[in-house]
Amino acid sequence: MAKEITPRSEDYSQWYLDIVRKARMADTSPVRGCMVIKPHGFAIWEKMRDALDAMFKETGHVNAYFPLFIPKSFLSKEAAHVEGFAKECAVVTHYRLKNDPNGGGVIVDPEAKLEEELIVRPTSETIIWDTYKNWIQSYRDLPLLINQWANVVRWEMRTRPFLRTAEFLWQEGHTAHATAEEAMKETRLILDIYARFAEEYMAMPVIKGIKTENERFAGADETFCIESLMQDGRALQAGTSHFLGQNFAKAFDVQFLNKENQLEHVWATSWGVSTRLVGGLIMTHSDDEGLVLPPKLAPVQVVIVPIPKPAPGLMETAEKIAAQLRAKGISVKIDDDEQNRPGFKFAEYEMIGVPVRLGLGQRDIDAGQIEVARRDTREKNSVPLDTAVDHVVQLLDDIQANLFNRAKAFRDAHITPADSWEEFEQVLETKGGFISAHWDGTTETELAIKERTKATIRCIPVDGKAEAGKCVLTGKPSSQRVLFAKAY
Amino acid sequence: MAKEITPRSEDYSQWYLDIVRKARMADTSPVRGCMVIKPHGFAIWEKMRDALDAMFKETGHVNAYFPLFIPKSFLSKEAAHVEGFAKECAVVTHYRLKNDPNGGGVIVDPEAKLEEELIVRPTSETIIWDTYKNWIQSYRDLPLLINQWANVVRWEMRTRPFLRTAEFLWQEGHTAHATAEEAMKETRLILDIYARFAEEYMAMPVIKGIKTENERFAGADETFCIESLMQDGRALQAGTSHFLGQNFAKAFDVQFLNKENQLEHVWATSWGVSTRLVGGLIMTHSDDEGLVLPPKLAPVQVVIVPIPKPAPGLMETAEKIAAQLRAKGISVKIDDDEQNRPGFKFAEYEMIGVPVRLGLGQRDIDAGQIEVARRDTREKNSVPLDTAVDHVVQLLDDIQANLFNRAKAFRDAHITPADSWEEFEQVLETKGGFISAHWDGTTETELAIKERTKATIRCIPVDGKAEAGKCVLTGKPSSQRVLFAKAY
The helix (run of H) or strand (run of E) holding residue B40 is helix B39-58
CATH number of B300-401, picked from 1.20.58.1880, 3.20.130.10, 3.60.15.10, 3.40.50.800: 3.40.50.800
The predicted model gives A72-95 an average pLDDT of: 86
Instruction: Name the residue facing A87 among B35, B75, B96 (closest C-beta).
Output: B96
ipTM over 0.90: yes
- Tell which CATH architecture fits domain A295-396: 3-Layer(aba) Sandwich (3.40)
CA end-to-end distance (rounded Å), chain A: 25
pLDDT tens, residue by residue, B297-346:
999 999 999 998 888 889 999 999 999 999 999 999 999 999 899 999 99
- Tell which CATH architecture fits domain A24-93+119-285: 2-Layer Sandwich (3.30)
pLDDT tens, residue by residue, B384-422:
999 999 999 999 999 999 999 999 999 999 999 999 999
Residues on chain B touching A75 (C-beta within 8 angstroms): 97, 105-106
3-state secondary structure of A97: strand
Which of B95, B99, B155, B337 to substitute to test the interface with A, most A CBs within 10 Å? Answer: B95
Shortest Cα–Cα distance, B235 to chain A (Å): 27
- Amino acid type, B188: R
Residues on chain B touching A125 (C-beta within 8 angstroms): none
- Is this prediction's pTM over 0.90? yes
CA distances from B147 to A205, A230, A356, B64 (A): 33, 32, 28, 6
Q: What is the rounded distance in angstroms from the CA atom of residue A303 to the CA atom of residue B444?
A: 58
The predicted model gives B75-91 an average pLDDT of: 82
| C-beta separation of B52 from A90 below 8 A | no
Q: Is A236 on the interface with B (CB under 8 A)?
A: no
In CATH terms, the fold of domain A415-485 is Translation Initiation Factor IF3 (3.30.110)
- Evaluated on CA atoms A410, A416, A421, A427, the torsion sign reads negative
Given CATH 1.10.10.10, say whether it is the number of domain B12-89+121-285. no
- Evaluated on CA atoms A192, A193, A195, A200, the torsion sign reads positive
Q: Is B485 on the interface with A (CB under 8 A)?
A: no
According to DSSP, residue B75 is labeled G
CA distances from A419 to A50, A436, A438, A481 (A): 44, 9, 7, 10
CA-nearest residue to B135 within chain A is: A27
At A449, the pLDDT band (50, 70, 90 cuts) reads very high
Q: Which of A273, A270, A182 is nearest to A226 (CA)?
A: A273
In chain B, % of residues over pLDDT 90: 93
Give phi and psi for A468, each to the nearest 5.
-70, 140
Query: A30–B130: do the CB atoms touch at under 8 Å?
Result: yes
Residues A285-305: b if buried by 16+ CB within 10 A, e if exposed: bbbebbbbbbbbbbbbbbbbb
CA-nearest residue to A72 within chain B is: B106
Q: How many CB pairs under 8 A join A and B?
A: 194
Q: What is the rounded distance in angstroms from the CA atom of residue B38 to the CA atom of residue B355?
A: 20
Give the model's pLDDT for residue A471: 98
From A18-32, A307-321, A345-359, B183-197, the region with the lowest mean pLDDT: A307-321
Classify the phi-psi angles of B470: left when phi > 0, otherwise alpha if psi is within -120 to 50, otherwise beta.
beta
Largest CA-CA distance found in chain A, in angstroms, rounded: 81
- Evaluated on CA atoms A73, A79, A81, A83, the torsion sign reads positive
- In this predicted structure, the answer to whether residue A76 has a pLDDT above a threshold of 90 is no
What is the DSSP code string of A332-346? EEE---TTS-HHHHH
CA-nearest residue to B33 within chain A is: A67
pLDDT tens, residue by residue, B187-239:
999 999 999 999 999 999 999 999 999 999 999 999 999 999 999 999 999 99
Domain boundaries along the sequence of chain B:
12-89+121-285, 300-401, 415-485
Instruction: Name the residue facing B89 among A63, A97, A135 (closest C-beta).
Output: A97
pLDDT tens, residue by residue, A188-246:
999 999 999 999 999 999 999 999 999 999 999 999 999 999 999 999 999 999 999 99
CA of residue A85 relative to chain centroid, distance: 20
Give the model's pLDDT for residue B4: 87
At A79, the pLDDT band (50, 70, 90 cuts) reads confident
3-state secondary structure of A232: coil
The predicted model gives B439-447 an average pLDDT of: 97
The predicted model gives A12-23 an average pLDDT of: 98
Question: How many CB atoms are located within 10 Å of the residue B436 CB?
Answer: 20
| C-beta separation of B250 from B226 below 8 A | no
Give the model's pLDDT for residue A427: 97
3-state secondary structure of A204: coil
Rg (CA), chain A: 26
How many residues does the structure list for chain A? 488
Give the model's pLDDT for residue A156: 86
The helix (run of H) or strand (run of E) holding residue B45 is helix B39-58
The predicted model gives A38-58 an average pLDDT of: 98
Q: Is A168 on the interface with B (CB under 8 A)?
A: no
